[in-house]
């Protein structure tokens, strides 16, 4: 496998980020992990999620998001954690859900290399034309379904982008 920094034998690390790490980013993590497994790339790609706030540290994802994900055969079971400055060095792709998250994560970056790792989730959208993934927390069921639609689409695009940029040798 080729790593962006041309170091051999290092996984490509992807971190999804939203505000509380209980709705959007753990859903993106779960969907991406399923895609990685379906493509037999789990030896090459590592996926995690975090929030810009620590309000829900240690919590499971929101039960409504878990229920909507389960209807699509996803198991969203990661524990919430807050984004750390060290994550900007540790991860190769830092994927944020909305403009506020983007601004917050960018403010932690201290190098061009760190800045260049930060993307909007919707940068990888293929079918949808949303400019950000809306927070479903205060809405109803349709908001959670929209988020899952957007994430399924964008994670497919992200995996495609990773596969185009990196060579995985089995």
130 to 23, 41, 102: CA distances (angstroms): 18, 28, 15
DSSP E strands: which ranges in the chain? Answer: 12-18, 45-51, 93-96, 118-120
13 an active-site residue? no
Please pick, among 87, 92, 135, 153, the residue that the annotation labels catalytic: 135
18 an active-site residue? yes
DSSP, residue by residue, 77-125 = -PPP-B--TTHHHH-SEEEESSHHHHHHHHHH--SHHHHTTEEEGGGG-
Three-state DSSP class for 51?
Answer: strand
Please pick, among 18, 87, 98, 153, the residue that the annotation labels catalytic: 18
Please pick, among 24, 66, 87, 153, the residue that the annotation labels catalytic: 24
- The β-bridge partners of 95 are 16, 119
Residue 76 burial (CB < 10 Å; 0-12/13-18/19+)?
buried
135 an active-site residue? yes
| Residue 34, token pair as written in the block | 């399923």
State the Cα–Cα distance between residues 167 and 52, nearest whole angstrom: 31
Give the catalytic positions in this structure: 18, 24, 135
């Amino acid at each position: 496998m080729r790593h962006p920094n041309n170091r051999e034998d290092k996984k490509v690390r992807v971190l999804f980020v939203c505000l509380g790490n209980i709705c959007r980013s753990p859903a993106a993590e779960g969907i991406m992990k399923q895609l990685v497994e379906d493509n037999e790339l789990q030896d090459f790609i590592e996926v995690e999620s975090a929030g810009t706030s620590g309000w829900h540290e240690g919590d499971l994802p929101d039960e409504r998001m878990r229920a909507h994900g389960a209807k699509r055969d996803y198991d969203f079971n990661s524990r919430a954690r807050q984004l750390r400055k060290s994550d900007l060095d540790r991860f190769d792709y830092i994927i944020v859900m909305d403009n506020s998250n983007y601004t917050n994560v960018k403010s932690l970056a201290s190098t061009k290399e760190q800045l260049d790792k930060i993307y909007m989730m919707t940068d990888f959208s293929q079918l949808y034309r949303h400019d950000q993934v809306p927070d479903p927390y205060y809405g109803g069921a349709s908001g959670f379904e929209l988020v899952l639609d957007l994430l399924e689409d964008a994670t497919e695009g992200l995996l495609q982008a990773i596969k185009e940029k990196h060579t995985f040798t089995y």
